Amino acid sequence: MENIGRGNFGSKIGAVLAAAGSAIGLGNVWRFPYETGANGGAAFLVLYLACVIIIGIPLMVAEFAVGRRSRANNFRAFPLLGATGLWKYVGFLCVLTGWLILCYYVVVQGWTIEYVISSGANGLANKTPDDYTADFSSFISNPVKPLIYVFLSIGITLGVVLMGVQKGIERASKVMMPMLFIFILVLVGCSLSLPGAMKGVEFLLNPDFSKVTASTYLAAMGQAFFSLSIGMGCLCTYASYFPKEANLFGNAFNIAGIDTLIAILSGLIIFPAAYSVGIEPGAGPSLVFITLPNVFYQAFGSIPWLAYMFSLMFYLLLAMAALTSAISLLEPATLLIHEETHLRRRWSALLATAPVLLFGVACSLSMGIWDEYKLFGMNLFDLFDFTTAKIMLPLGGLFTALFVGWKMDKKALLSEISNQRTLPQWLIRIYYSLIKVILPLAIIAIFLNELGVFSL
């Protein structure tokens, strides 16, 4: 992998699968349920879906177009397509955001590894719902253990990026993503069969718009950006490896569709189970780690080996899904350093990783012994999450949309998105109006709404 040249991925669908692997991760199974829980349930889901359709899919296509057209890292891509002045730095802003996300993503990735290990050692069996809550809190506030997992997560992510993304990730994604999907379906069934489960379904599917506040809009938009991996240069970077004939619209629809489906299904696992065992749906980042063991051991309580197998397999797949996303967060920064400084790829990856270690450790400690240090009422972990997902990603997306809509050469854009002129004119027209006007206005409106300038 010394030569990162173009064509990193072995097969045609490899690059596209990797983009799907980037999108599907902790954002779906961990972040979506807790954001939905904290923001009132179904009404949040409606706003989230609107953001995916109006903002998410068009932006994904825009990032794909920039990446495939320029066939360069994100920093170089924009100038190559004609960006001048401040526009040149849009790509850099996006890569920086992704890199900052990685700093706290590795913390949660570490939690998934802990749950793989503790499932494997049968440490989740024979416990009450209160035990799961207590175990999780004592784990994340422990000053040493989670740090070991931060190191481990970073090590594994770096290892894969260094070894080369092609074969491993490609092959693994092809097998594991469908497996994860099947597991999720089975777990939805289990969760729905728990007593009192319907209250959870209602929470997720029956919207109560009186619960919508200004910050619900921002949260829904942030979640759409986070979950679809947009606004941080990763899709752009991956698209620089896409084959010429890849259908950008088709891929964006498929990836967004699968990603959203997995998020909703995750909600259908978590909320029925949470209501069934009396856990608050607004419990925050711990939600998934407390409710899931409950689902396994309550649903299969009478067949302990099945519960054991299920929890082990599920956390393993979740850890894998987190890994494919973490790689996609490290790759753009690595590629940028490598192509811009001509340092070897190995050194570039190490350089991109070293500060992640520092911030990762700090974010992890902020969930425990450093929890009292707060800025704007948030600990470091929450602050990283808030600033990146709710401010930087949407800003990166806004600038990308404005650039693609107003600055990029129209012919170049058309030749990328028109799928060898097979895309109907009306769709292209809708796309132009979305990317030029509607999408930027929507992002700005959500920001202004949050600031209280006006109310949506």
Residues of the shown chain interacting with ligand PHE in the complex, contacts defined by CB under 6 A: 22-23, 25-28, 98, 101, 226-227, 229, 232, 234, 325, 328-329
Tell me the closest approach of the beta carbon of residue 169 to ligand PHE, in angstroms.
13
Tell me the closest approach of the beta carbon of residue 322 to ligand PHE, in angstroms.
7
Judged by beta carbon, residue 60 or residue 83, the one nearer ligand PHE is 60
Tell me the closest approach of the beta carbon of residue 103 to ligand PHE, in angstroms.
12
Q: Give Cα 35 distance to the centre of its chain.
A: 13
Judged by beta carbon, residue 32 or residue 297, the one nearer ligand PHE is 32
- Cβ distance 157 to 331 under 8 Å? no
Tell me the closest approach of the beta carbon of residue 393 to ligand PHE, in angstroms.
7
Give which of 72, 23, 1 is closest to 253, Cα–Cα. Answer: 23
Judged by beta carbon, residue 18 or residue 43, the one nearer ligand PHE is 18
CA torsion 47-48-52-55 (nearest 10°) is 60
Q: Token pair 């799907």 is at which residue? A: 20
- Cβ distance 384 to 377 under 8 Å? no
Judged by beta carbon, residue 63 or residue 114, the one nearer ligand PHE is 63
SS3 for 375?
strand
Judged by beta carbon, residue 158 or residue 299, the one nearer ligand PHE is 158
- Cβ distance 104 to 386 under 8 Å? no
Tell me the closest approach of the beta carbon of residue 255 to ligand PHE, in angstroms.
10
Q: Token pair 């092809």 is at which residue? A: 174
- Cβ distance 438 to 54 under 8 Å? yes
- Looking at this protein, which amino acid is placed at residue 351? L
- Residues 212-217: contacts with CB within 8 Å, 24+ apart? 212/40, 212/43, 212/44, 212/47, 214/449, 214/450, 214/452, 214/455, 214/456, 215/39, 215/450, 216/39, 216/40, 216/43, 216/44, 216/47, 217/47, 217/446, 217/449, 217/450, 217/456
Judged by beta carbon, residue 194 or residue 443, the one nearer ligand PHE is 443
Position closest to ligand PHE via CB: 27
Tell me the closest approach of the beta carbon of residue 105 to ligand PHE, in angstroms.
7
Tell me the closest approach of the beta carbon of residue 24 to ligand PHE, in angstroms.
6
Residues whose CB falls within 8 Å of the CB of residue 254, separated by 6 or more in sequence, listed in order: 20
Judged by beta carbon, residue 231 or residue 293, the one nearer ligand PHE is 231
Judged by beta carbon, residue 28 or residue 364, the one nearer ligand PHE is 28
Tell me the closest approach of the beta carbon of residue 56 to ligand PHE, in angstroms.
11
Judged by beta carbon, residue 190 or residue 224, the one nearer ligand PHE is 224
Tell me the closest approach of the beta carbon of residue 22 to ligand PHE, in angstroms.
5
Q: What region, left, alpha or beta, does residue 303 occupy, with left being phi > 0 and alpha being psi -120 to 50 degrees? A: beta
